[in-house]
Structure 1
Amino acid sequence: MTFFGRTFDGQELFALVSLLTVLAFWLFVLPRERDYTRRFKQWEAGRRARRLAQESGGSASPDGRPRGPWG
């Protein structure tokens, strides 16, 4: 096979096809990986916010007064 004025043998042709296959693979995988990272960060921020809200709200009674032996 002649490509850009150069004759490729079987090994070089296989390397070219493999390189193009890996490039196509990453074109499909990279957007999914970015989406997964974005969703994980959102989930982590929500979890942290829920945890902080639970920790801050757990020390007061429903009517807003502190409770416990020193409250």
Structure 2
Amino acid sequence: MTLFGRTFDGAEIASLISLLLVLVLWIGAWRGNRDWTRWFRGWEADRKERRDAERAAEGGDAANPPPGAPRGPWG
């Protein structure tokens, strides 16, 4: 095979094919991670909406908790 005036032997052709396959693998992994992140953000937003609705139904104000209420993960 000749490309740009250079002749490639079998080993070089195999390495080019393997590099292209690795690129396809990385793109697939990136897309999967991106889709997972998008799903998780949507799920988290839905969960927050349900939690805020439950708090509002109980009579508490989710936006302005009382002064002595624990805040953050450590209280």
Structure 1 ranges of 4+ moved more than 6 A: none
* TM-score in terms of structure 1 length: 0.56
47-56 or 30-39, larger mean C-alpha shift: 30-39
Larger CA Rg, structure 1 vs 2: 1
Partner in structure 1 of residue 72 of structure 2? none
Question: How many residues align structurally?
Answer: 60
CA shift, 1:46, in A, is 0.4
Sequence identity (%)? 48
Deviations 1:5-60 (A, max 9, x none): 11223332222101111233345454444333222211110001111222232247
Partner in structure 2 of residue 68 of structure 1? none
Unaligned 5+ segments in structure 1 are 61-71
CA RMSD of aligned residues (A): 2.5
The 2-side partners of 1:55 and 1:7 are apart by: 71
Unaligned 5+ segments in structure 2 are 61-75
